[in-house]
Structure 1
């Protein structure tokens, strides 16, 4: 602008801008302060768009952060495999019978532990797992072959593709295993390490980032001929609904006392703590993003309110109360907040649906649909109204300032 033009430009909106919207809003069956607020964005459309962009950013960021926290939580749950209510860990090295420490774990008959579990009231279902170290062509290092006795499909193993094994000779493997061996579902691999090589057919792809994916999950009967002496076994139990887990653990430990092993409540592998940490970080990040978006709204509303100080004074002189002044200022950002919030939620969901799989691919993993499907209708609706909350938070301070301004001071302000 030339100097003389800059000095001549007034602070108010150009004459006539927004008057048609004001007339239309005045015809609505709404209180006058609400009608004045609804028409205000049309007087300063560029400023309204700027505030809408701030709200849109905040809504997208919050929606994405909520989805990311949910996805990471489900990944941690899948990694922990802690769906069991009660776990009997595999025996660990400890003091020997005579007192000195032994480097070898005590040998426990899995059948005795399984019998104690079945005899304990409240047992719904259970399975056991034994690990065998082996090698597989194409995979560097040692591979853990996890052999299950019983149906372990309910134990928290998230399937990416295919199905859980159903018969001897079938196996389920993580995504990195498929990439390392160049195999896919339906192919066979040979496991070397037991007394004799064992060939298994891959029928499923499971999400399991532990040990860089160097794992094979199969039925214990698959290794029966090559490794009949599986003994280092953990047991995983689901109790019946309504069963007190603490009481169940106490009764089961009483039966397991002669065996030298003890049961414990499930979910104690560290996964739950990590999920709580992720949730706390998500809440902190969400609050910071909301604050940043609200500051963007605050800047626009404060500038708009300062420019309208004389107009507000006239309204006060005509009888507008402080409460009505607050309503008028908050209403001026309500439509912007609602529209930006409604647009920001699907954009945040699209961003989440693109970023999370990309993160998994960078780590050599593929995520199942359950990791991505973290948004529920009960969460999406509040997120859509989050734009209105952000806009309201940003407008509260200017609204309070406008309501507290004395009428005489506002009217004589040039």
Structure 2
């Protein structure tokens, strides 16, 4: 490349191995996150499919009895119901594969453009695995449900029909009737005990929905903590280092008049309203075990309040001490208490590591230490920024305007501090979290809808009796909705600790994928509000799923309901 291009044509170079490592780090953080949501989605899909098929077969028990009375053997009954379940399952699977391919088109097109590839598509093996997995799940669930019904004696199957077992749930109805509640509410609260299997299936779907909501809430809070640690910007006001002038091969030292950091620090200290302040200078050095250079951030003043999050150990307290990121320790094979030497300066400078700081930048190639310890090495401290915390009651805007009048002759400008944007990765993870959570909540609500709809259709005659005895449409809606209240509350309460546990496993795994070790402040992000809202979310999912069947039951005519077999 050097021979093929004119002089000064190449301004820099980088190994493709470094580029590949960077790309792998950027994508590796998504893997634990997507695996967690993928597992949640698959488990909920299994539950929903199993519940739908089992309920459909269960409601056909009387029909199974009729088939057996006409001469069908138990094996023929099972095969008939398995085939009946596979027909809509095959249609749904085909549509799902088609929609999946359509959704993959823009993603594949983007990958083709980025990598210069062509004809990227979903592998046929993926399609076969999806089709075989879904149809196998439906067939196995239908076979198990129909096999139980097929073993019933013909007379028993004809007698059972779609009615609940005699006496089931009556004790719960009697106890609920003694509560000081309206009768429709009491009847609804007792209903899960009449169909415990169906209530368990609905509760499991709601539970995983609550797990997803809890996990997403914690994920957003953890990413916010990571971004705050990454920004290191707890200061109210910042005086950035002046940008260097660039030539064809990079920064050109000495082209722009140098800024005196001491003069800037004096102006900051003399400004009215200045509270705590420190300066940070960046110099380049080499450390044994690391390729390339390391950014040495040399502080003047106490920077412990500046937003640096410690993972282990402590912030340096004086000359000769330093803190480093997790990736630095891993790459150099060092640990807290060891001493490393900063080379490449006027003379080697040894520093002792006293703490591990959370900092995902620069691939861990950073050392934070006291500027006075580097004085003997005569470092170039022209890249110096100043960070200021104003005194209580001081307006930041007015302070910045007044300080800039003092700094104008020095060639620097102050600005208000604050966190920077989290970047594309954080935005993408937050968007994916929201979308996947909404999908899982929708699936959970559909599971509730299926269970309540089947239960309501089975109780059409019972609902007609209640209406004939004076139950209003509003009372009917209350009875149907309260039938899922207990299930939703219990599932939501149980889903919260499971969601916290998933968060506690996934977030550290995401950190490990990019060589980061998170402190407790990033993991323990749940407060009372973060735990209460997902718990109530289970109740919300249950109510949303029950609204449609409740409206249908309220609109049913009394005479038509009483004639229903």
Using the size of structure 2 for normalisation, the TM-score is 0.69
> Equivalent residues in 2 for 1:144-155 (5 A)?
144-155=295-306
The alpha-carbon deviation at position 381 of structure 1 amounts to 1.9
1:235 to 378, 386, 399: 386
Cα-to-partner distance string for 1:292-315 (whole Å, 9 max, x where unaligned): 211111111111111111111111
Cα-to-partner distance string for 1:75-133 (whole Å, 9 max, x where unaligned): 111111121121111111359xxxxx998454101111112212222222111111111
Q: Quick one: distance in 1 between partners of 2:432 and 2:401?
A: 36
- Residue 445 (structure 2) aligns with: 294
Q: Quick one: distance in 1 between partners of 2:255 and 2:546?
A: 68
For structure 2, the residue ranges without an aligned partner over 5 or more in a row are: 1-63, 69-153, 247-251
- Residue 385 (structure 1) aligns with: 536
Cα-to-partner distance string for 1:254-311 (whole Å, 9 max, x where unaligned): 1111111111121264338976775555444433332221111111111111111111
1:244 to 2:395 alignment: yes
> Equivalent residues in 2 for 1:96-115 (5 A)?
104-115=255-266
- Residue 140 (structure 1) aligns with: 291
Q: Quick one: distance in 1 between partners of 2:440 and 2:399?
A: 45
> Equivalent residues in 2 for 1:238-317 (5 A)?
238-267=389-418, 269-271=420-422, 279=430, 281-317=432-468
353-362 or 36-45: bigger deviation = 353-362
Q: Quick one: distance in 2 between partners of 1:64 and 1:104?
A: 52
- Tell me if the contact between 2:231 and 2:419 (Cα under 8 Å) persists in the aligned partners: no
- Tell me if the contact between 1:91 and 1:105 (Cα under 8 Å) persists in the aligned partners: no
- Residue 98 (structure 1) aligns with: none
* Number of residue pairs the alignment of both structures matches: 410
2:471 to 317, 320, 327: 320
Q: With CA pairs under 8 Å and 6+ residues apart, which has the higher RCO, 1 or 2?
A: 1
2:358 to 207, 213, 220: 207
- Residue 34 (structure 2) aligns with: none
- Tell me if the contact between 1:130 and 1:147 (Cα under 8 Å) persists in the aligned partners: yes
1:160 to 2:319 alignment: no
Judged with a 3 Å threshold, the aligned counterparts in structure 2 of structure 1 residues 118 and 275 are, in CA distance, closer, same or farther, namely farther
Judged with a 3 Å threshold, the aligned counterparts in structure 2 of structure 1 residues 268 and 348 are, in CA distance, closer, same or farther, namely closer
The alpha-carbon deviation at position 179 of structure 1 amounts to 0.9
- Residue 282 (structure 2) aligns with: 131
231-240 or 129-138: bigger deviation = 231-240
Cα-to-partner distance string for 1:53-72 (whole Å, 9 max, x where unaligned): 01100011110111111111
400-409 or 182-191: bigger deviation = 400-409
1:78 to 2:219 alignment: no
246-255 or 334-343: bigger deviation = 246-255
Secondary structure of the corresponding residue to residue 11 of structure 1: coil
Q: Quick one: distance in 1 between partners of 2:325 and 2:206?
A: 41
1:61 to 2:212 alignment: yes
Using the size of structure 1 for normalisation, the TM-score is 0.93
1:15 to 160, 166, 172: 166
1:408 to 2:534 alignment: no
2:348 to 197, 200, 211: 197
- Residue 177 (structure 1) aligns with: 328
1:334 to 2:501 alignment: no
- Residue 113 (structure 2) aligns with: none
Q: Quick one: distance in 2 between partners of 1:223 and 1:94?
A: 25
Greater per-residue helix proportion: 2
Judged with a 3 Å threshold, the aligned counterparts in structure 2 of structure 1 residues 103 and 267 are, in CA distance, closer, same or farther, namely farther
Q: Quick one: distance in 2 between partners of 1:393 and 1:61?
A: 17
Secondary structure of the corresponding residue to residue 483 of structure 2: helix
Q: Root-mean-square deviation (CA), in Å?
A: 2.2
- Tell me if the contact between 1:76 and 1:274 (Cα under 8 Å) persists in the aligned partners: no
Secondary structure of the corresponding residue to residue 231 of structure 1: coil
